[in-house]
Structure 1
Amino acid sequence: MTKKILLIVLIVLSVTFVSGCTNLAKDFSEKFGNIEKPDNIESSAESASDLLSSETDVLYQVSTIDALLQGVYDGVLPVAELATHGDFGIGTFDGLEGEMLALDGNYYQIKTDGIAYPVSGEMLTPFAIVTYFEADENFRLEKPVNLTELENFLDLNLPSENLFYAVRVNGNFSYIKARSVPRQEKPYPKLADAVSTQSVFEFENISGTLVGFKAPEYVKGVNVPGYHLHFITEDRNAGGHVLDFEMENGDAAIDITSEFFMELPTSGDFYNVKLGQDLQNDMEKVEK
């Protein structure tokens, strides 16, 4: 008799425990939602590309400016894939062959003849910066300004020195000086040496668009602190990396870009090069 009573008590306790666990699981599910154990991490989480595809205020970058300064010129990402991250941007191509400019979803390669060539999706880039351009601020520039004066004007109208900004300026230029660098062969020289063979173009009385970015000072080595601008003519036939200009008038637009995503090379020279050395000196040589 005692054994039967004990058995009944155990059964009742078991039913109560299972019922309690079921209710607890139900309450947890109602409060936090169903949580399933993934088969693997990749299948259970959105990839970085998926996350970026839903965001327009993301600056997407391939490699680092310091790697480019040190001669890491092998292309690592096809332009077709780069274009999924932005319709606006700048960069270069495999072997440092020319200047990249993306505007309104069209990608161009400005070679040492100064001509802007349409780019095929198979072409590779070792370094590029792109975003989907959506203007947050617009300014009309009625008075003539040079490169330094334009930068100072924009600086006065930026909400913070610590964010990234995409910069687009449609203007009429009395003069503009630009450059492009020829394709390099291995062993690759440093960028400061490669630009010694650059081609320089001078345009007069021409309309066109400045395309580029303003990066904060703290990204030194990762990106170019300050302004980095490329130029393309209104007819999209010529341009280059901007060295100087005199602009009569124009319209400036700023896209405040609060998110930054960088994709690093996973092989090649990037793995072996020593980064973070003599950055300031190398950058000054490149911008001359």
Structure 2
Amino acid sequence: MKEDYDLKNCSSTNAVYSRLGSYISLFVLSCSVYAGPIHEIRLAAPAVSLFQLGNASALFSGAIEGEITYRQLKTKGDFGLGTFNGIRGEMVALDGNFYKIGQKGETIPVNPDWKTPFVELVTFSQNKAVHFDMVRDYVVLKQSISSKLENKNIPYAIKVTGIFKFLKLRSRSPRVALRTQDVIEETYFVENVKGTLVGFWFPEYLLSLTVPEFHFHFIADDRRLSGHVLELKAENVDVTINRINQIELAFPQTHVYKNAKITAATLDRYNRAQMNGAN
């Protein structure tokens, strides 16, 4: 029997509850604030290659239509993040399956014929894993993971599994471009769920291409709840890290992309759109 979890709408003073059964996962903790054993497990595995379609600078500049379908992307990787034409929600890919993050975290299997202007995918492997008994908050998780990144000049794909005692998540509605004034978002939180954080860490010098530093989406073990991660608290956490040794970058071949006046993304742009690693 599956439990039902209450999702609370944090953007209103009146708590809005939506019943979405789920387990939810994610998390990692900093050793400096953590009391408990840390266990290194299976370290050896080849580095992975990242396939990226589109780039953040184009999204900020309004080039938000692509011609590539998710059916075509199935061969490019089994783990990653992305969006849909018109930025109609965010995407999370895990174990070769693609999901759309819907309103209040409703998780919708992606129609193979849906198109996207932006996606990041790797074929994930068990490269480096660290266990934490508990993680106090999102900042601690990111600090803990950051301390395990041996080379801060390359990107990483990161998977975090665990029991999430608390998660603050968001979903986003369609908008004209990745700009603050166009953002319509719903913030919600959930407690005591098992799940996985799917994400990446990119060095800041790649910010014209993608979100700098950390970017995570959550998906519950029962695949009924998902969201862009804003805050968390977790226990029994396992973090697996894959080094990304090369990037295959594909440019959209649409009329919109060809005629867009694309300017480079900046940290200020990410901050105003709430897409930087701190959000």
TM-score, with length taken from structure 2: 0.78
Q: Tell me the C-alpha RMSD between the 2 structures.
A: 1.7
- How far the C-alpha of 1:183 sits from its partner, in A, is 2.4
Could you list the per-position Cα deviations for residues 20-64 of structure 1 after superposition, in whole angstroms to 9, with x for gaps in the alignment? xxxxxxxxxxxxxxxxxxxxxxxxxxxxxxxxxxx9721000100
Q: Is the contact made by 2:201 and 2:213 (CA closer than 8 Å) also made in structure 1?
A: yes
Superposition misfits of 4+ residues, deviation over 6 angstroms: none
CA distance in 1, matches of 2:265, 2:50: 26
Q: 2:207 aligns with which of 214, 220, 232?
A: 220
CA distance in 2, matches of 1:121, 1:107: 9
Flag the structure with more relative contact order, 1 or 2, with Cα contacts below 8 A and sequence separation at least 6. 2
Rate the CA distance shift 1:236–1:286 in 2: closer, same or farther, 3 A.
same
Highest CA radius of gyration, 1 or 2? 1
Q: 1:177 aligns with which of 161, 168, 171?
A: 168
CA distance in 2, matches of 1:279, 1:272: 21
Alignment length (residue pairs): 230
Could you list the per-position Cα deviations for residues 80-117 of structure 1 after superposition, in whole angstroms to 9, with x for gaps in the alignment? 11111000000111111111010001110111242111
Does the residue aligned with 2:192 lie in a helix, a strand or coil? strand
- How far the C-alpha of 1:281 sits from its partner, in A, is 1.6
Q: 2:90 aligns with which of 86, 96, 99?
A: 99
Task: Structure 2 unaligned segments of length 5 or more: list them.
Answer: 1-45
- How far the C-alpha of 1:70 sits from its partner, in A, is 2.4
Give yes or no for the alignment of 1:88 onto 2:76: no
CA distance in 1, matches of 2:257, 2:112: 23
Match of residue 22 from structure 2: none
Larger helix proportion, structure 1 or 2? 1
Structure 2 residue identity aligned to 1:192: T
CA distance in 1, matches of 2:146, 2:95: 24
CA distance in 1, matches of 2:145, 2:205: 19
CA distance in 1, matches of 2:202, 2:217: 15
Could you list the per-position Cα deviations for residues 197-241 of structure 1 after superposition, in whole angstroms to 9, with x for gaps in the alignment? 111121112111100111112101111110111001111111111
Rate the CA distance shift 1:153–1:122 in 2: closer, same or farther, 3 A.
same
Q: Is the contact made by 2:196 and 2:220 (CA closer than 8 Å) also made in structure 1?
A: yes
- How far the C-alpha of 1:157 sits from its partner, in A, is 1.0
Q: Is the contact made by 1:180 and 1:241 (CA closer than 8 Å) also made in structure 2?
A: yes
Give yes or no for the alignment of 1:191 onto 2:179: yes
CA distance in 1, matches of 2:95, 2:208: 28
